[in-house]
A and B are shown apart, each in its own frame.
Chain A
Amino acid sequence: MPVPGTLEKELLNHISKKPATEMYPFVKVEVPEGYRGKIEFNIEKCIGCGLCSRECPAGAIEMVEDERTKLKKRPKFIYSRCLYCAQCEESCPREAIKLTQEFELADYDKERMVIDV
């Protein structure tokens, strides 16, 4: 039988409950463990193979000259273009790239959004 006002009991319950709003940014938000955030690059493990740059769908990784790696090249990450897809983490044969849980990455200047170790 259709009656108007089926939500009434629920509404009156809500007056005494805590609101479901998360008070971000006054309260920090917890992200789960496998979250795909900003890239963290470990130059020690890199061999300069260039697989990450070849596989990146967004063109966010460029190879530059560097003496520290075996093949004399290393990646430069432009994370303003990054999709956070983690394909580079998967393609790297030495596990030099990891995606952390940092997600508050907004910035005023696009030139600063680069990881150039």
Chain B
Amino acid sequence: MLEEEVEEKRVFKIPVGPQHPALKEFENFTFTVDGEKVIDVDFRIGYTHRGIEKLAESKTYIQNLYLCERICGICSGAHQGCYAQTVEELAGITAPPRGVYIRTLIWELERIHSHLLWLGVAAHEIGFDTLFMLIWRDREIVMDLLEMISGNRVNYAMNTIGGVRRDISDELKHKILKGLDILEERTKYYKEVCMKEQTILARAANVGILSKEKTLKLNAVGPTARASGVDVDIRRDDPYGAYDEVPFEVIVYDTCDVLARILVRVDETIQSILMSRWILENLPSGEIRTKFTRKIAENEVLGRVEAPRGELLYYIKSNGTDKPERLKVRTPTLANLLPVAEMLKGGYIADIPIVLAGIDPCFACMDRALFIDENSEKTWVWDKEQLRIYSIKWYKEHGKEVVRERWKQ
């Protein structure tokens, strides 16, 4: 098969994924290459689909808190915070100011953690293993801080509906401030390395170009859009949490390449450190949570949050019981997937890993079920009504034993 393709034209197809060292999670990208140049890219998603939206319909609002934070490991605080905030809006309750400030602190500390993780992974993709090891060593500082605050290094479970669950004492505040000082010094050093090191500039400058018009047309979000000159940030445009009081800057670069994405994220990390410091020094006193009734009246709310990767949307619909009727999540990587296909065309094979890593992909968050007909290579997506009809038909054929087995308790 390979010989025929090579004889026919000089192009052939290279599959990247589902298993590949360049990807940290599973998706399939098939590149048509000619020598070292990439001509076309085609992708297929659905490898890590877990059926979370359906599962959320059979659990109560409190149980869904812990389900939603496990949609993603790196942005788990953003998912849980957005869910809690949306359900609070649904039920019509407001969290007290101290709770809102602590929730915002967790969001910002998680942004630091996520961007440092990404920076190490991007260094590894271009072969710079030394920088990868050093950055991940310094990321341990912020992981230890989060462990001291919340009890766990990932999946913090700090939010509840009505506020937060744990308070921050004064000695904990001193420890966090000390850790933030070390982090700020190290992040500034890494920014200097990224701007001056010639090997990084050779691999990242003028690579993966996405012009401003294409960004707006294909709806890229988050740091990917801010690196192409599009000035959009949910924290400033549609303030939620404590962001209408915390002072911060929105970082925008306009060189549209991978280097701009690196610099946007490093600068955002420094901004997050400054924001966390401000929040800690200006924590209002008072309660950290309010009461929450189990049943919520009929309502529907769309909530959004600036996760480390971009704009995260949650749509929740309630129907009077203590379980939601519909929960829909749209993660930022799903919006950035078409722009990345655009960026990869016309580049080299050597640029594939760094461009793919440049949008900070979190495929586990974004997955959707995709139907593929093996014989005709046709792919299609079903909407809710077609899925419902198909599932009723399937359960009729396979009987009630499957249902009984699964819900044994």
Contact = CB atoms under 8 A, between A and B. Distances in A.
On whether A and B touch (CB less than 8 Å), the answer reads yes
Interface of A: 1-7, 10-11, 20, 31-36, 55-59, 62, 83-87, 90, 99
Nearest to A83: B66
B397 interface: no
B375 interface: no
B166 A6 contact: no
Contacts of B148: 32-34
Contacts of B59: 57
Question: A4, A6, A55: which has the most chain B beta carbons within 10 Å?
Answer: A6
Given A57-B64, A59-B409, A85-B66, 7 more contacts: A6-B196, A32-B144, A32-B148, A58-B66, A85-B155, A87-B63, A87-B66
Main SS of chain B's interface residues? helix
Interface stretch (B89-97, B197-205, B229-237, B378-386): B197-205
A111 B130 CA distance: 44
Contacts of A32: 144, 147-148, 151
A8 to B, nearest CB: 11
Contacts of A7: 130-131, 134, 193, 197
11 contacts: A6-B196, A6-B197, A7-B197, A20-B137, A34-B150, A35-B147, A36-B151, A55-B62, A57-B59, A57-B64, A85-B66
B199 A4 contact: yes
B66 A2 contact: no
A13 to B, nearest CB: 11
A90 B162 CA distance: 14
A38 to B, nearest CB: 13
Main SS of chain A's interface residues? loop
A10 B63 CA distance: 47
A101 B198 CA distance: 47
Given A32-B148, A85-B157, A2 B63 contact: no
A31 B157 contact: no
B212 interface: no
Interface in B136-152: 137, 144, 147-152
B166 A34 contact: yes
A5 B59 CA distance: 54
Contacts of B157: 36, 85-86
Contact of A2 (B144, B152, B197, B409): B197
Contact of A57 (B66, B130, B150): B66
A54 B329 CA distance: 26
B165 interface: yes
A44 to B, nearest CB: 25
Contacts of B66: 57-58, 83, 85, 87
A3 B198 contact: yes
A32 B149 CA distance: 9
Given A55-B62, A57-B66, A85-B157, A6 B193 contact: yes
Contacts of B155: 83, 85
A2 B137 contact: no
B196 A2 contact: yes
Which 9 residue pairs spanning A and B have beta carbons closest together?
A57-B63, A2-B198, A36-B151, A4-B198, A57-B66, A32-B148, A34-B151, A6-B197, A85-B66
A32 B152 CA distance: 9
Contacts of B165: 86, 90
B6 to A, nearest CB: 37
Contacts of A62: 409
B409 A4 contact: no
A46 B53 CA distance: 35
A32 B166 CA distance: 14
B151 A3 contact: no
A3 B62 contact: no
B283 to A, nearest CB: 18
Contacts of A1: 196
Contacts of A31: 147
